[in-house]
Amino acid sequence: MIRKISLAVIVVLSGLLLGGCSLNPNATLQVFSTPRATVMLNNKIVGETPFFNTKIKTGSYDLKLIPIGQVDNILPYETKLELKKNTKTAVKWQFNKNEASASGYIMTQEAISDKKGSVFMIVYNPSGATVKLDDQVVGTTPFQKDGLAPKQYKLSVSANGYQTEEALISADAGYKVIVNLKLGQQTGQSEVSNEASASASPTPSAPPKKTLTIKDTPTGWLRVRSKPGLTGKELGKVNPGDEFVILDEENGWYKIEYETDKQGWVSGTYVKLNQADNDKESADAKTTPTKKPTATPTKQATESASTTNN
């Protein structure tokens, strides 16, 4: 019998669903995730979570979230979005090894004829989850309530055997707020959290040096940067299959020696972590990449984040 656990994740949308946006001819998109993830729109990297952009061109998009860091066997999250003029969309996702335990929602706006009132609707499968607004039970999913006073509400959705989702939302006058919701099944403890704890646990003896291998990327190569993060200056490029000793690690980025006496950082999104077989292998690899890369030094990248590869 599964022990009932109340796991609440409160997401404050930082004004995303607050106030009107009639002067904005584009769409607004905000994306949250746990753990942090690379954000891709139509196969182009546009940033990392938490992500916020008020000038997204309207249209259909394929959204893909790729977890950052040492989180093995976690599938990326993929969905389709329809971003419309003068509307706002928020996506929140909690990754988990077990797809049934992953959770999150897509919150969107849709214009309605009543310009003074607002409508709130929740789409959830399976049905029957309890819906609360401002801590008052108002119904079960699927749920819709018309004529809401335009203001901020505290939303809570819960069901036996599932994690509870909570969020602060704003019902804007003249809009319907639509929440496409997925509750994650309770597992007692998040597998992602378990793995993170295990990777952080100290070992009784000094481990051998760790190496990484560059994985396939959308561009066929991976940038090396002067510091961890997309704002780092581009120093060179490495290719899928190249292997390097890990010199340092910070926030899901890894420091490597990509050429003799030249060091830089690569994103953990596109690397596979290896473990040296013995101390000799580690010693041999300490100052020399185990597979000679064909790095190409480049000038500082000038392209925008919307076209930048990690």
So what's the pLDDT on residue 72?
A: 66
Return the minimum-mean-pLDDT range out of 55-69, 75-89, 117-131, 146-160.
117-131
pLDDT 10s digits, 295-305: 444 443 333 33
Contact 29, 87 (CB under 8 A): no
pLDDT band at 74 (very low <50, low <70, confident <90, very high): confident
Give 15's contacts (C-beta < 8 A, 6+ positions apart): none
Q: Domains, the chain, ranges and CATH?
A: 8-191 (no CATH), 207-298 (2.30.30.40)
Q: Nearest CA to 263 among 236, 282, 281, 296? A: 236
Highest mean pLDDT among 90-94, 127-131, 139-143: 90-94
Give 46's contacts (C-beta < 8 A, 6+ positions apart): 39, 40, 53, 305, 306
Task: Give CB contacts under 8 A, 24+ apart, made by 46-50.
Answer: 46/305, 46/306, 47/230, 47/305, 48/230
Which carries the bigger pLDDT value, residue 209 or residue 231? 231
Instruction: Please compute the mean of the pLDDT values over residues 284-300 and round it to a whole number.
Output: 46
pLDDT band at 275 (very low <50, low <70, confident <90, very high): low
The structure's pTM equals 0.53
So what's the pLDDT on residue 195?
A: 44
So what's the pLDDT on residue 224?
A: 93
In the chain, % of residues over pLDDT 90: 20
Instruction: Please compute the mean of the pLDDT values over residues 38-45 and round it to a whole number.
Output: 93
